Amino acid sequence: MKRLMGLLLALGLLAVLAACGHFVPIMPGTDPVIAGTETPVPEDAAPAEDVFETRPLMSFIGWDSFATSYYDDTPIALSIYTPERGYASPVFDRASIVAACDALRSMSVTGRAEGAPIGGETTFIFTMENGVTWSVTFAGTDLKMPSTNYTVSGGDNLWALTFPGYSEGYDLFDLYFDAGVRAFADDYYNNRPVSVGRRMNGGATLTSQDPAIVDQVFQLLANARIDRIETSPDQNIDLTQTTDYVFSLPDASYYTFSFAGPCLAVTVSEDYGTVYYWLNGLEQLPETAVLPESRLPTFSGGQLTALREDIALAQQAAFNELGGVTVIGVFVSYTINGQDGYLTLSGNTAAQFVQQVTTITASAEQVAPQGEEITVSVTLSDESGPILYFIGDSIQQVVGTNYACDANAMANLRSYILSLAQDPNNISGIIGESTG
């Protein structure tokens, strides 16, 4: 009976405790906890942060396939870009590209970066042969990701790489990333070129064999230094105005250095495209008299034969005096009376036009060019032909060197062009109203 009463009393006490919410089950091996006595957890408390696991950088940014293929499928170019400079500068040598890849592969991401980065942003861009690019950005020396920066270790060789415009030591010849061009520059005085030529807009090449002139052109190129790289050449450079400087060596090899407008134009890889460099120190280059003073043209007899040899050939072809070589076409672009237009001629009309143009008389007097412009491009049946530049009543030999032409003859040429533009048998059109 006593046992029964004790059991009933215990069950009653248990029921009372449960009803009051003070019963807390105790798991084996734990200390008893009284409900209502636990330390409360604030509602806005942050969850415990996961421990960061160090990982290879290339895996972290999803470059596993790139990391295993760059030795066999090496990018054709590596560029560096900083917002401060505002332009991407490429290198094309495989050694630098592979060194950058090796450096990135040796890097590890070690944790989330705390505080603001020390230093600006730097982006490295790898360009593949098919045009695909892989880029990685650092904020200072931290890896920059869309939402968080991360600390990294290793890869010191990446920051030791040099780029034109960002690093000292590059000269004009380095920009070609060509061992032959580098050897030409380094061995110049032991293997002097026999001549230097200048070619404007793909026309005839004016050549000088005067050692002083050859050395002067070379020294100007050698002393030039990179200012910046043009990011929008189609907007900021007149790509139709080209100048080539051609050095011919005793073994008949030659090296050509090309400019578009004022910028050096270098095409190391057709897949990457042309890079346009603004250079300091070339202000005197257009003024260099590639044609020596003793050979400056004098014009007499109504012929421009002394200006360029190919003008004489065009004239002979126009008069059927060149043994089967004929004038097959003429393209004229012009600004006359404030109106920009173009004109395409063929057959007898083209030949007659060449006859008139090449008999314009000019003096040996150099003048400052001013006035409206006319460009005449002649194509002969052997695919040669001159390109003539008239500015006002002058004809251009090279940029900065213009000779006075007969004013009446130039007035007749302008009238002749306008009359031909009205002939429905010729192809002509108006480009727009001149704003100059």
Whether 33 shows a pLDDT value over 50: the answer reads no
Lateral strand order in the sheet of 225-229: 205-208, 195-200, 242-248, 254-260, 263-266, 275-280, 225-229
Instruction: Compute the Cα dihedral for 157, 159, 164, 169 and give only its sign.
Output: negative
Whether 69 shows a pLDDT value over 50: the answer reads yes
Supply the pLDDT for residue 398: 62
Confidence of residue 298 (pLDDT cuts 50, 70, 90): very low
Q: For residues 364-375, give the mean pLDDT.
A: 84
Whether 222 shows a pLDDT value over 50: the answer reads yes
Interval 392-421: pLDDT, tens: 998 876 666 788 888 888 999 999 999 999
SS3 66: helix
How many Cα atoms within 13 Å fall on the side-chain side of residue 198? 20
- Mean pLDDT is lowest, of 30-39, 90-99, 325-334, for 30-39
Q: Tokens 């050095």 — which residue?
A: 247
Whether 75 shows a pLDDT value over 80: the answer reads yes
Interval 313-348: pLDDT, tens: 777 888 887 777 888 888 888 999 988 888 888 888
Rounded CA-CA distance 251/249 in Å is 5
Interval 109-134: pLDDT, tens: 999 998 777 889 999 999 999 999 99
CA distances from 165 to 7, 151, 174, 227, 333 (A): 94, 28, 12, 6, 37
Q: For residues 207-212, give the mean pLDDT.
A: 84
Length of the chain: 436
Q: Which of 178-182, 292-296, 310-314, 385-389 has the highest mean pLDDT?
A: 178-182
Contact, 192 vs 214, CB < 8 A?
Answer: yes
Supply the pLDDT for residue 18: 44
Provide the percentage of residues in the chain whose pLDDT is more than 70: 80
Interval 134-160: pLDDT, tens: 999 999 999 999 889 999 999 999 999
Q: What is the per-residue burial (b if ≥16 Cβ within 10 Å, else e) of 225-254?
A: ebebbbeebeeebeeeebbbbbbbbeeeee
Nearest-5° Cα angle at 102, 101 to 108: 100
Supply the pLDDT for residue 290: 65
Confidence of residue 12 (pLDDT cuts 50, 70, 90): low
Better pLDDT: 304 or 237: 237
Burial class (CB in 10 A: 0-12, 13-18, 19+), 332: buried
How far does CA 202 lie from the centroid of its chain? 21
Overall pTM > 0.75: no
Confidence of residue 31 (pLDDT cuts 50, 70, 90): very low
